[in-house]
C-alpha cells in the first residue's frame, strides 16, 4: 500500500505526515489492519526496538474533584461509586510505589484529583517523591497534579520529579464540549511550565468520547507541536454515573488504527498504551505492543486493570521484553535535547486512566454484540471499579 510505505519512510526520518495521510490511516479497512500494524511496527522498532517500558500509577488523592470533565469518574457531581480519600501519607505512597517497582515498573506516576495543587500540596508531593526515591534507587517519578501555578514545576523538579503529566485529552475545537471549568489553553500552559522547569513533559489524549477522525488528528498534531516526551493514549472507560457513560464507540480495530496514527505522527516519542486497553482492545492487546513502547502495569486510578503478571506474560508471549532500569527510554537525539526526559526515562486526567483516570472506549466489535445500527454493544461487565491498592487495606495489583 503506497500510503503505508510513505508513512514508514517519513517515520524513519522523523518527518511529519500530512493531515490527509493521518486521516487515511483512520479510514483504512479491517481487511488492511494487519498491514497498518506491521507498517507502524517498523517505525516503533526503529526507535525503540522490542522494549516495553512499564509504568505504575499511585492515586494520591481520589475523588471529590471540583472540575467538570465529562469523562472523569472523579469529577464534580460524579455518581460513580469509586474510592474517595484524601492525601496518602508519604510512607503510604512509597509503599504503594514499591509494589509497582517490584513488578518491573520503571516509572511511578503520582496522581491527585483536583484543579491544581496548592503550595502545601506541592510540599506534600515533594516529601512523597523524596520518600519513593529513597526507597527505590533509580526509579523515575512523574507527577500529575492538575494545573500548575508559577514556580510549582521548579519546586517539583528540585524535589526529584523527573516528569510531569497533563493531557490535552481532545482537540481544541471540541474541548469546551467536554470540560467547562478550565480551558484547553490552560492545559497547554501547564505543559509549557513543566518543560520550562526541565521536567520531561507527558501529554496525551482520550479516544472514544464521540470525537470525529478530524478531532483525533487535530489533537495528535497539536501534541506533535507541543513536543512532549511521552504521549499516553487513553480509551474512554464509560463509568456509570458520568456524563459519557453511554459512549461505547470503539472497537479493538478502531483502537489499533488510532495507535498506529499516533505512532506515525509521533514516531520517536514514548507512546504509552494507557487506560481502557483491557476494556476495548481485550484479546487484541498484544497487537498493540507493535505500536506502543510503554504501558501501565496493573490497576489505574479508579478502575482495575488486568493482573500485573498477565501484563508481563503478554509482553513475553508477544516476543517483547521489559525495559530495564539502566536503559534510556528515548532515542539518543531526544534524550540529549530533553530537559529531563529520555535520560530519566492521564487538570485531572492523569497519565493513564481514561475515565478521567488517565486512563481515559468502546467495545467489542463482534457481530453478535453489535446493535442493529452497527454501534458496538456496551461491555459494562469489563468496567471494574478499583477496590484494592492505594487508599485501601488490600494488596495492590502489580
Q: Is 79 exposed, middle or buried (0-12, 13-18, 19+ CB in 10 A)?
A: exposed
Catalytic site residues?
A: 65, 69, 72, 109, 142, 202, 272
Residue 127: CB partners within 8 Å, gap ≥ 6?
A: 90, 159
Q: Residue 139's pLDDT is what?
A: 96
On whether the CB atoms of residues 256 and 37 are closer than 8 A, the answer is: yes
The whole-number pLDDT of residue 260 equals 98
Per-residue pLDDT of the chain (398 residues; tens, 9 = 90+): 899 999 999 999 999 999 999 999 999 999 999 999 999 999 999 999 999 999 999 999 887 788 888 777 777 677 767 778 889 999 999 999 999 999 999 999 999 988 899 999 999 999 999 999 999 989 999 999 999 999 999 999 999 999 999 999 999 999 999 889 999 999 999 999 999 999 999 999 999 999 999 999 999 999 999 999 999 999 998 888 888 888 999 999 999 999 999 999 999 999 999 999 999 999 999 999 999 999 999 888 777 789 999 999 999 999 999 999 889 999 999 976 554 333 333 334 444 444 444 433 333 333 334 444 556 778 887 888 787 788 888 888 88
State pTM to two decimals. 0.89
Q: What are phi and psi of 332, to 5 degrees?
A: -55, -40
- Please report the pLDDT score of residue 366 as a whole number: 37
pLDDT number for residue 165: 97
Spatial contact of 73 and 355, defined as CB atoms under 8 Å apart: yes
Say if residue 109 carries a ligand binding annotation.
Answer: yes
* 348 belongs to an annotated ligand binding site: no
Domain boundaries of the chain, sorted by first residue: 2-382
**Candidates 3.40.50.2300, 3.40.50.720, 3.20.20.70, 3.40.50.620; correct CATH number of 2-382?**
3.20.20.70
Check whether 351 is labelled as a binding-site residue.
no
Cell representation of residue 120: 502545601
The pLDDT, as a whole number, for residue 149 is: 95
Q: Is 341 annotated in some ligand binding site? A: no
Residue 65 annotated as part of some ligand binding site: yes
Phi and psi torsions of 270, nearest 5°:
-70, 105
- 72 carries a ligand binding annotation: yes
Amino acid at each position: 500500500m503506497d500510503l503505508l510505505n510513505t508513512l514508514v519512510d517519513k517515520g524513519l526520518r522523523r518527518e511529519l505526515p500530512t493531515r490527509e495521510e493521518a486521516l487515511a490511516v483512520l479510514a483504512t479497512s479491517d481487511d488492511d489492519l494487519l498491514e497498518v500494524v506491521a507498517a507502524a511496527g517498523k517505525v516503533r522498532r526503529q526507535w525503540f526496538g522490542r522494549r516495553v517500558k512499564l509504568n505504575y500509577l499511585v492515586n494520591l488523592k481520589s475523588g471529590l474533584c471540583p472540575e467538570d470533565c465529562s469523562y472523569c469518574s472523579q469529577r464534580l457531581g460524579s455518581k460513580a461509586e469509586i474510592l474517595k480519600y484524601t492525601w496518602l501519607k508519604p510512607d503510604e505512597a512509597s509503599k504503594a510505589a514499591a509494589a509497582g517497582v517490584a513488578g518491573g515498573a520503571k516509572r511511578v506516576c503520582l496522581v491527585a484529583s483536583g484543579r491544581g495543587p496548592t503550595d502545601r500540596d506541592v510540599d506534600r508531593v515533594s516529601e512523597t517523591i523524596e520518600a519513593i526515591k529513597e526507597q527505590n534507587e533509580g526509579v523515575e517519578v512523574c507527577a500529575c497534579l492538575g494545573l500548575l501555578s508559577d514556580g510549582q514545576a521548579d519546586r517539583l523538579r528540585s524535589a526529584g520529579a523527573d516528569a510531569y503529566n497533563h493531557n490535552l485529552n481532545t482537540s481544541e475545537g471540541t474541548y469546551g464540549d467536554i470540560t467547562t471549568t478550565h480551558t484547553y489553553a490552560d492545559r497547554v500552559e501547564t505543559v509549557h511550565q513543566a518543560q520550562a522547569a526541565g521536567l520531561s513533559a507527558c501529554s496525551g489524549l482520550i479516544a472514544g468520547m464521540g470525537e470525529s477522525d478530524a478531532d483525533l488528528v487535530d489533537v495528535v498534531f497539536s501534541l506533535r507541536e507541543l513536543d512532549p516526551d511521552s504521549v499516553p493514549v487513553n480509551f474512554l472507560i464509560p463509568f456509570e454515573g458520568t456524563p459519557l457513560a453511554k459512549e461505547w464507540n470503539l472497537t479493538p480495530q478502531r483502537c489499533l488504527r488510532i495507535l498506529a496514527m499516533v505512532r506515525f505522527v509521533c514516531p520517536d516519542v514514548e507512546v504509552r498504551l494507557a487506560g481502557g486497553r483491557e476494556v476495548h482492545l481485550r484479546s487484541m492487546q498484544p497487537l498493540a505492543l507493535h505500536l506502543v513502547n510503554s504501558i501501565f502495569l496493573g490497576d489505574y486510578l479508579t478502575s482495575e486493570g488486568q493482573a500485573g503478571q498477565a501484563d508481563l506474560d503478554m509482553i513475553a508471549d508477544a516476543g517483547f521484553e521489559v525495559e530495564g532500569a539502566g536503559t534510556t527510554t528515548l532515542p539518543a537525539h531526544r534524550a540529549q535535547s530533553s530537559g529531563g526526559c529520555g535520560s530519566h526515562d492521564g487538570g485531572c486526567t492523569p497519565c493513564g486512566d481514561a475515565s478521567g483516570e488517565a486512563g481515559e472506549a468502546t467495545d467489542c466489535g463482534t457481530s453478535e454484540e453489535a446493535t442493529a445500527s452497527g454501534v458496538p454493544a456496551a461491555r459494562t461487565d469489563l468496567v471494574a471499579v478499583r477496590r484494592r491498592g492505594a487508599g485501601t487495606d488490600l494488596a495492590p495489583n502489580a
